[in-house]
Amino acid sequence: MDLLNITNWGLNISKKDGSPLLISGPCSAETKEQVADTCQQIAALGIDILRAGIWKPRTRPGSFEGLGSIALPWLIEAGKTNKLPVCCEVANAFHVQEALKHGVDILWIGARTTVNPFAVQEIADALQHKDIPVFVKNPVNPDLELWIGAIERLNKVGIRKIAAIHRGFSVYNSPKYRNQPQWEIPIELHRRYPNLEIICDPSHIAGKRALLYEIAQKALDLNFDGLMIEAHIHPDQAWSDALQQLNPEGLDKLLKQLTSRQTESDNPDYLRKIHAFRELIDQLDSETLDLIDERMKIVRKIGHYKKASNIAVLQIERWKYVREMCIKKAEKLGISSKFVEEFISTIHNESIDQQTTIMRN
């Protein structure tokens, strides 16, 4: 069930020139000088909002857990000096009270908090009747409903300026990224709530500097509304997330490399070509479904033969053969074998379901 006020969601953060909203600053506020120097240098790069972690929910005890309220005036001062709004993470009602008391402009709820409805509700209750924008990071696990639920809790207490932050999803032994992007989840969020702006946090997805560009560019290619990128005056000495933070020079370089794309074009030539291609795609999608339907008809026939002959639905050797044949063909065609493997597995699962139904009836 969705809440009614969906059309009011969103910060209206899109800038006139269509460029993404940029949020940057250190993972954690460490010293007055570190906050001041970092913010001063990155503000000069056209950043829109400054960030710094004041309270840090860390995975393991013993890691740096943030300096707490003592660091809030440093962030506020950096905002005033550079004439930029500032944001920080809040994880409970006390953090909210402290951040509001000091004058933080925007709050964000971190991934380890979004995951916990009691914690989100506590924050929402502390924000009742307050007019402050809130960013909601996705929960650590790939659960879209939990992400939406956190947004709804804020919406219910009257917070109207809400944006989502996609920071990736944690998996055990992540092969490449610190957190898996699973782009299909923010895409589905966007499909369901087109007015809700989504910001990408490449820093916590990538986990290392070298991967920031590909994630940030992909987010722009997917038309995300903004980017939150961690920056630190001396990243290698950072007290948290040292590997993923950029120094101001690195941030400048990254921002210059990024290309932001338009959502639409009114160029008649472009529109004519894209329309023709889309007609082809629609035709091919329809033919693909007809082929899958043909395949399912045969699958059902086989189901009836298996039932009559008392043969089990799953023939593991046959499945191995089909899977390998498709993967080999994918390699020849230059299509990702991971995609083909998932595609044929999905079709195979549907085939099994259909034959199982036949066996039971």
* Helix 184-192 vs helix 144-156: crossing angle, to nearest 10: 40
3-class DSSP state of 254: helix
* 127 vs 228, beta carbon nearer ligand PEP: 228
Does residue 225 interact with Mn ion by CB under 5 A?
no
User: Can you state the percent helix, strand and coil of the chain, rounding each to 5?
Assistant: 55, 10, 35
The answer to whether the CB of 60 falls within 8 A of the CB of 105 is no
Considering the complex, state which of residue 70 and residue 298 has its C-beta at the smaller distance from ligand PEP.
70
Nearer to Mn ion, 27 or 200 (CB): 27
* Least spacing, CB of residue 112 vs ligand PEP, in Å: 6
CA distance 13 to 27: 22
Q: Is residue 91 within the footprint of Mn ion (CB under 5 A)?
A: no
What is the rounded CA–CA span in Å between residue 109 and residue 150?
Answer: 9
Q: 122 φ, ψ to 5°?
A: -60, -40
Q: In this complex, which beta carbon is closest to Mn ion, that of residue 13 or of residue 111?
A: 111
> Site residues for Mn ion, window 234-253 (CB under 5 A)?
241
Binding mask 25-64 for ligand PEP (x = CB under 6 A): --x-------------------------x-----------
CB 137 within 8 A of CB 167: yes
Q: Which of residues 194-223 bind ligand PEP (CB under 6 A)?
A: 201, 204
Region of residue 360 (left: phi > 0; alpha: psi -120 to 50; beta: else): alpha
Query: Does residue 229 contact residue 202 with C-beta atoms inside 8 Å?
Result: yes
**244 or 351, CB closer to Mn ion?**
244
- Tell the smallest beta-carbon distance from residue 345 to ligand PEP (Å): 31
Binding mask 16-55 for Mn ion (x = CB under 5 A): -----------x----------------------------
Contacts with ligand PEP by CB under 6 A lie at 27, 53, 110-112, 137, 167, 201, 204
